[in-house]
Amino acid sequence: MGIKKNIIIGRTVLVLLGLALITFCSGCVEKNIFAANLGSKVSAADEINTSASLINSAETRIMSVRQDVESSTYSNAKINLNASETDFEEALKILNNASSDYEEEIQDIETYKTLAEGGLDRVHSLESLITAMEHSDKSMAYAYSKEFNLSRKELNIANEALNESAASSISAKEKVFTIDPKSVPIEQKSSIILLRNDLEASETMHSELRQMMSGMYPYMDGYVCLSNGIEYGDAEEWGKAADEFGKASDKFSESQKILETLKDSEYSEVSVTAIEICGILTQAQKDLPHIEAGCRYMEKGRYYQANAEFNNVSYYY
């Protein structure tokens, strides 16, 4: 469904973060190699250089995760995330044990520690997103096979994972925002600003994805009622069928009200999907009153009127 597509495309923000971090780290490495040759004072240039290399490797893997997710190769994505997590953790170990007599290096150590800690949060955010995608897939599969209890269970797990992903993303933002763009060299200032802007965008994206997920619950309920109505209709229990179709209409309306607000999202990957889903729900809202009315007429034996109502229904079903 649309949730899956949005979660996948929403990772574009993290790719931009990775590019910015690699640019930032490269500049710092060059500066610290120079600092190592300044004299007999204690320098952490080697430690900073090694940490920067580890962070660069971690960021490169994170960028490849997007391609893995788009091709639904979740196992590869998990492997890359595990490797990135190890690199960030190793970078932190090195930085925590590093010391320097140079003020700029001391500041660089703290900056790199912040970037590595924020990187770990982003890894955890991606891990949770993948979990959300996997269980969202299962939820839809169970729904199509009419195993609705299992479908809702999977949807609950997906929703919980999405909330955890959002929390980790917010944590990353809070860490990165402690880095003052004015405190870094001018050639690296734009990278930090880009990081801050993209993390804000990621927070907004997560908020909208969570809103879309909330709209899936009444959609699922409506689908259950629709399925029940069809079964009752096949059994010619017209009164019960009409009741279920009426409930389905109410649930679809509830879902549409939630998703309608996302049609004007500044993110096309959110707005386009919301428009597509709302289009389906709009058609259902047109058809279900006719289906319900037709069932009411059938219950009363008024077959001509029932047939007239059923003829107004699209062939979508």
Q: Which of 20-34, 156-170, 234-248, 252-266 has the lowest mean pLDDT?
A: 20-34
Is the pLDDT assigned to residue 127 strictly greater than 70? yes
Pair 166, 158: CB distance under 8 Å = no
User: Do residues 116 and 144 share a domain?
Assistant: yes
Q: Which of 184, 209, 234 is the last residue of a domain?
A: 209
Asked if 226 and 178 sit in the same domain, the reply is no
Q: Counting beta carbons within 10 angstroms of the beta carbon of residue 27, is it exposed (0 to 12), middle (13 to 18) or buried (19 or more)?
A: middle
pLDDT at res. 24: 55
317 inside domain: no
Owning domain of residue 295? 216-310
Provide the pLDDT for residue 187: 74
- The fraction of the chain above a pLDDT of 70, given in percent, is 86
Q: Which residue has the higher pLDDT, 146 or 85?
A: 85
| Structural Rg of the chain based on CA atoms | 26
Report pLDDT for 262.
96
pLDDT at position 80 = 94
Which helix (H) or strand (E) is 234 found in, with range?
helix 186-234
CB neighbourhood size of 82 (10 A): 13
Q: At which of 178, 209, 240 does a domain end? A: 209
b/e string for 208-222 if b means 16 or more Cβ within 10 A? bbebbbebbbbbbbb
Is the predicted pLDDT of residue 93 greater than 50, yes or no?
yes
Q: Is residue 84 domain-shared with residue 111, that is, in the same domain?
A: yes
| Mean pLDDT score across all residues of the chain | 86
The secondary element (H helix, E strand) that includes residue 284 is: helix 268-299
Residues 206, 210, 215, 217: is their CA dihedral positive or negative?
positive
* Domain annotation covers residue 143: yes
Per residue in 174-224, pLDDT tens? 998 998 888 877 877 887 888 788 789 888 989 998 999 999 999 999 999
Angle, in degrees to the nearest 10, between helices 238-260 and 268-299: 160
158, two tokens: 């997906």
Assign residue 72 a region (left: φ > 0; alpha: ψ between -120 and 50; beta: otherwise): left
* pLDDT (tens digit per residue) in 259-290: 999 999 988 778 888 999 899 999 999 999 99
How far apart are alpha carbons 262 and 270 in whole angstroms? Answer: 7
Q: What is the mean pLDDT of residues 36-58?
A: 82
φ and ψ at residue 25, rounded to 5 degrees: -65, -40
| Residue 124 DSSP SS3 | helix
Residues making up the chain, counted from first to last: 317
Do residues 233 and 194 both lie within one domain?
no
DSSP state of 42: -
